[in-house]
């Protein structure tokens, strides 16, 4: 059974999602009208408001190393390790442009939040179904080609600790098939904010290390084959 503190924390998060409800109709309209640039700008505004609201409500601080490596504009594919639920708002908070993300299909069961994942051009992936996973990655590639930036966690799930899980090489296709840069980010210490104890730890900090972008356009077949290991080593080196 969840502690009262955890239930209270869930209430705080739910409150932040409801607070950005004002963006729903404008985003749906821009998407229907095909106004991509306006849609991206509004998604970015929403993500900044929401992520900082979440961080402020819990007193969490994001320490950033390598902020100079953040591109001024997208599209890029952010590749990161995944320690905690907090990783998503933390990464949103430092980005200078819109960012969708690939989430596990189980999140589709969470009312309201599931719709927001899709509304910000995120995708839900069923990693237990190989064909469905390929279709989702293909959808992501098309979004990147349209100019939307995406994030994906190649471990496939939260590590819930300092050790990084094995990267699934197929995740990199989101970038390589779109021919856009990969932006590697190392998340360090976010598991301490909840996953380590199962209790929400307020007024704590985590660290994000932004590594230099890695171009994928024009890579040889050999270089493409080596890219997943190369990106994994970059991210792992930051831990």
The predicted-structure confidence for 61-92, as pLDDT tens digits, reads as follows: 999 999 999 999 999 999 999 999 999 999 99
Q: Please state, for a pLDDT cut of 90, what percent of the chain lies above it.
A: 77
Range in 95-99, 118-122, 144-148, 161-165 the model is least confident about = 161-165
Reported confidence tier of residue 106, pLDDT bands at 50, 70, 90 = confident
Would you say residue 5 has pLDDT above 80?
no
Would you say residue 181 has pLDDT above 80?
yes
Choice between 207 and 132, residue whose per-residue pLDDT is larger: 207
The pLDDT value recorded for residue 178 is: 96
The pLDDT value recorded for residue 57 is: 94
The pLDDT value recorded for residue 1 is: 42
Q: Which domains does the chain have, with CATH numbers?
A: 4-237 (3.40.1130)
Do you find a cis peptide bond into 205, omega within 30 degrees of 0?
no
> Mean of the pLDDT values across residues 133-156?
95
- Residues 198-236 pLDDT 10s: 999 999 999 999 999 999 999 999 999 999 999 999 999
Alpha carbon distance 58, 175 (integer Å) = 33
What's the mean per-residue pLDDT of the chain?
Answer: 92
The pLDDT value recorded for residue 127 is: 79
The pLDDT value recorded for residue 128 is: 81
The pLDDT value recorded for residue 114 is: 87
Alpha carbon distance 156, 127 (integer Å) = 8
Choice between 70 and 129, residue whose per-residue pLDDT is larger: 70
133-142: long-range pairs with CB below 8 Å, 24+: 133/170, 134/170, 136/102, 137/102, 137/170, 137/171, 137/173, 137/174, 137/177, 138/177, 140/102, 140/174, 141/173, 141/174, 141/177, 141/178
């Amino acid at each position: 059974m969840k502690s009262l503190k955890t239930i209270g924390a869930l209430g705080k998060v739910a409150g932040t999602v409801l607070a950005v409800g004002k963006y729903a109709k404008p985003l749906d309209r821009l998407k229907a009208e095909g106004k991509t640039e306006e849609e991206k700008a509004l998604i970015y505004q929403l993500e900044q408001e929401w992520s900082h609201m979440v961080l402020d409500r819990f007193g969490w601080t994001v320490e950033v190393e390598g902020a100079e490596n953040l591109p001024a504009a997208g599209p890029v594919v952010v590749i990161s390790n995944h320690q905690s639920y907090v990783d998503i708002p933390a990464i949103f908070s430092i980005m200078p442009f819109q960012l969708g993300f690939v989430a596990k299909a189980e999140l589709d069961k969470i009312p309201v939040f599931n719709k927001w994942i899709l509304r910000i051009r995120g995708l839900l992936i069923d990693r237990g179904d190989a064909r469905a996973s390929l279709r989702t990655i293909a959808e992501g590639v098309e979004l990147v080609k349209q100019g939307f930036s995406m994030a994906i966690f190649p471990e496939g799930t939260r590590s819930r600790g300092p050790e990084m899980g094995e990267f699934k090489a197929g995740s990199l296709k989101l970038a390589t098939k779109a021919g856009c840069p990969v932006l590697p980010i190392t998340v360090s210490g976010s598991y301490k904010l909840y996953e380590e104890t199962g209790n929400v730890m307020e007024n704590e900090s985590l660290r994000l290390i932004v590594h230099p972008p890695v171009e994928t356009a024009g890579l040889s077949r050999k270089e493409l084959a080596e890219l997943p290991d190369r990106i994994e080593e970059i991210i792992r080196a930051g831990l």
